[in-house]
Amino acid sequence: MEVIIQPIPEAATAIALRAVADLLRKKPNAVLGLATGSTPLLLYNALTAMDLDWSKVTTFNLDEYVGIPAADSCSYHSFMWQNLFSKVNIRRKNVHIPDGMTNDIPGHCEQYERRIRDAGGIDLQILGIGREGHIGFNEPGSSLASRTRIKTLTERTRKENARFFKAPATVPLHVITMGIRTIMEARVCMLLAFGAKKSRAIAAALEGPITSMSPASILQMHPRAKACLDTLAASRLKHLEYYRSVYDHKPKWQKAEIF
Ligand code: GLP
């Protein structure tokens, strides 16, 4: 995995921003995998300020809460429309977010997988990371071969995400999330993490053993995974200086080229 460490979140976001912008310019009908949470907000803000054509772009979001209607302000549908989709010229029919209100969860999950395949697969998957190493909502213990399915949130994740809800008790127990294998099939994975509170999860994922106890650690098996971190999120990495040196000494052509 390529580890890119920048002094502040804005600088780390700029790397991901360049990757998305390059992709959309080179491949107007690109397929993006998108994440929610506070981490990608800087990226989405920056993207909406750019003059990019989203008219042929297709997106697949990682996850959604079960039992929360799309129109609810706590849904990931609302999050995505508010922070990105309403501000770019994407076509509604090209936006895919799991439906937390479906009455056939297994059937819906199978269809979600099929839609990703029919779209030609995900070119670039943006990822955040949970405090216990989850990607999407694949909590510790998730099968590393999993596909889109229902998952039960840990109490820790429910507490973490309570800030987006009116009361902690209203955070759903269940979610629909892309599986780990689904994520691993993306051609490029970009993991963003900022702040000291992510440093343990990042150290475990990047330098620890590959284990379902740290679901993000599977990215070590991805041929084109990049972690864009700020200094605080990177602070527990053992090989910090090596990663910095690798990035600083990259040939210019290689630095500029993501797609
Ligand atoms: C949620 C999302 C994840 C996200 C994580 C981290 O649980 N399902 O996709 O990576 O939160 O959130 P934040 O970026 O707010 O720290």
Q: Write down the pLDDT at residue 75.
A: 97
Q: Write down the pLDDT at residue 203.
A: 98
C-alpha closest to that of 132 among 65, 194, 202: 202
CB of residue 199 inside a 6 A radius of ligand 1: no
CB of residue 130 inside a 6 A radius of ligand 1: yes
Q: Write down the pLDDT at residue 39.
A: 98
Three-state secondary structure call for residue 23: helix
Alpha carbons 7 and 231: distance in angstroms, whole number: 5
Q: Are 196 and 232 in contact (CB under 8 A)?
A: yes
CA 35 to ligand 1: nearest atom:
9
- Report CA(225)–ligand 1 centroid distance (Å): 18
CB of residue 170 inside a 6 A radius of ligand 1: no
Model pLDDT for residues 214-233, shown as the tens digit of each residue = 999 999 999 999 999 999 99
Q: Write down the pLDDT at residue 239.
A: 98
Q: Is the pLDDT of residue 253 over 90?
A: no
What are the extents of the domains in the chain?
7-189+209-214
Report the CATH fold assignment for 7-189+209-214.
Rossmann fold (3.40.50)
Q: Is the pLDDT of residue 84 over 80?
A: yes
Name which residue sits closest to atom 1 of ligand 1, judged by CA: 37
How many whole angstroms from its chain centre is CA 46?
A: 16
- Report CA(252)–ligand 1 centroid distance (Å): 33
C-alpha closest to that of 133 among 58, 224, 44, 204: 204
Alpha carbons 172 and 153: distance in angstroms, whole number: 8
* Mean pLDDT score across all residues of the chain: 97
In sequence order, the 6+-apart residues with CB closer than 8 A to the CB of 104 are none
Q: Write down the pLDDT at residue 26.
A: 96
Amino acid at 134: H
Percent of the chain with pLDDT over 70: 100
Q: Write down the pLDDT at residue 191.
A: 98
Q: Strand 225-230: give its sheet, edge to edge.
A: 2-6, 225-230, 188-193, 124-127, 31-34, 58-61, 95-96
Give strand ranges (E) for 17-65: 31-34, 58-61, 63-65
Read off the pLDDT of each residue in 8-25 and give the average, rounded to a whole number. Answer: 97
Q: Is the pLDDT of residue 257 over 80?
A: no
In sequence order, the 6+-apart residues with CB closer than 8 A to the CB of 256 are none
Name which residue sits closest to atom 9 of ligand 1, judged by CA: 136
Read off the pLDDT of each residue in 88-92 and give the average, rounded to a whole number. Answer: 98
Read off the pLDDT of each residue in 36-45 and give the average, rounded to a whole number. Answer: 97
- Report CA(249)–ligand 1 centroid distance (Å): 32
Read off the pLDDT of each residue in 46-61 and give the average, rounded to a whole number. Answer: 98
- Report CA(250)–ligand 1 centroid distance (Å): 30
Residue 61 token pair: 């979001």
Residue 74 token pair: 């706590």
CB of residue 61 inside a 6 A radius of ligand 1: no
Backbone φ and ψ for 107, nearest 5 degrees, come out as -65, -40
Q: Write down the pLDDT at residue 63.
A: 98
Q: Is the pLDDT of residue 258 over 80?
A: no
Q: Write down the pLDDT at residue 37.
A: 95
- Report CA(175)–ligand 1 centroid distance (Å): 13
- Report CA(37)–ligand 1 centroid distance (Å): 4
Model pLDDT for residues 132-151, shown as the tens digit of each residue = 999 999 999 999 999 999 99
Which DSSP category does 153 fall into? P
Is the CA virtual torsion 101, 86, 190, 36 positive or negative?
negative
Q: Write down the pLDDT at residue 255.
A: 75
Read off the pLDDT of each residue in 56-81 and give the average, rounded to a whole number. Answer: 98
Name which residue sits closest to atom 3 of ligand 1, judged by CA: 136
Q: Write down the pLDDT at residue 148.
A: 98
Alpha carbons 125 and 224: distance in angstroms, whole number: 11
Model pLDDT for residues 106-132, shown as the tens digit of each residue = 999 999 999 999 999 999 999 999 999
C-alpha closest to that of 59 among 106, 109, 13, 20: 20
Q: Are 80 and 88 in contact (CB under 8 A)?
A: no
Amino acid at 74: C
